[in-house]
Amino acid sequence: MQQANHKKNKPELTVQQKINRRNFISFTTFFVVGGALFGGWKWLYHAPEETPGITAGASKPLRRALNKTELFFRRIFSNNHPVKTYPKRMAAKQVRVNGDIGIDDKGFNPQTWQLAVIKSQKETLQLSLDEIRALPKSDLVFDFKCVEGWDQIQHWAGVKFSDFIAHYGLQDQARMQYVGMATPNEEYYVGLDMASALHPQTLLAYEMNEQPLRPEHGAPLRLIIPVKYGIKNLKRIGTISFSNERPPDYWAEQGYDYYSGL
């Protein structure tokens, strides 16, 4: 009776045979997949490095993958998705300090500082902090994330970059693909895709915890761009420029992802 359910010409496998067969399948799969992964890893490991330029320090196939993900994310990136915000009372009182590249020079004078906005090869705006403080002010309490693995809820205030663009009539510049920012001594610099720069939570910040920025946090003016990792949040902005090519970026030259989006 039992035999009737099975095809006549296929003898039933014993339990031991079934076990042997499964063992064979799992071990073969393990070695074939493992071998492919090992081969792939060896190929990646020995792949040539990219030619140093705007980005450097990564292997060619890895950089190709990073550039592809950047294009993918830039296509789906939407300015309508705000990052999560928090009530003010949750903001850290002891705000972490990380990185002092370009802001450690003793000769810097915050009193005579001005922001240079390079509109074109012929025209540069020079703006004082008072002029920037006179623009509409926005607050932001969000979870700041550093690529080194820490994050902290922080409270910043300043003018939205998009409001700044509108106020100074920089719409033509904002149609370009990238924004570049650098410290006054040009030792630290970042490149940002325009959509992220114009995101409604991106700030040119001059206050932290309702107090003027302290030097170690980037006084007189710093970038707060919550859709990016900390590395892009340049402290002490000296110049802002616009271009259709990727502007130089300090950490991209050290091998980090150019886009560095969250």
Least separation in angstroms between residue 147's CB and Mo ion is 5
Any bridge partners for residue 179, and if so which? 192, 242
Q: How many angstroms separate the CA atoms of 124 and 170, rounded? A: 12
- Alpha-carbon separation of residue 85 from 81, 145, 153, 212 (angstroms): 12, 13, 9, 21
Which of 146, 166, 174, 176 binds Mo ion (CB under 5 A)? It is 146
- Does residue 47 interact with ligand MTE by CB under 6 A? no
Judge contact between 219 and 237, C-beta under 8 A.
no
- Judged by CB under 6 A, does residue 146 bind ligand MTE? yes
Residue 203 pairs with which residues in a beta bridge? 160, 224
Q: How far is the CB of 58 from ligand MTE (least distance, A)?
A: 18
Q: Which of 183, 196, 201, 202 binds ligand MTE (CB under 6 A)?
A: 183
Q: Residue 146 CB, nearest distance to ligand MTE (Å)?
A: 4
Name which position in 63, 91, 102, 180 contacts ligand MTE (CB under 6 A): 102
Residues 154 and 92: beta-carbon distance below 8 Å: yes
3-class secondary structure, 164: helix
Q: Which tokens go with 122?
A: 């012929």
Verify binding: residue 230, Mo ion, rule CB under 5 A.
yes
189 binds ligand MTE (CB under 6 A): no
**Tokens 């031991």 found at:** 16
Question: Between 225 and 231, whose beta carbon lies closer to Mo ion?
Answer: 231
- Give the span between the Cα atoms of 208 and 140, in whole angstroms: 10
Sole residue written with tokens 């196939």: 61
Of the candidate spans 55-63, 152-160, 225-233, 243-251, the one that interacts with Mo ion by CB under 5 A turns out to be 225-233
Site for ligand MTE contains 253 (CB under 6 A): no
Q: Interface residues with ligand MTE (CB under 6 A)?
A: 96-103, 146, 183, 188, 217, 230-231, 233-236
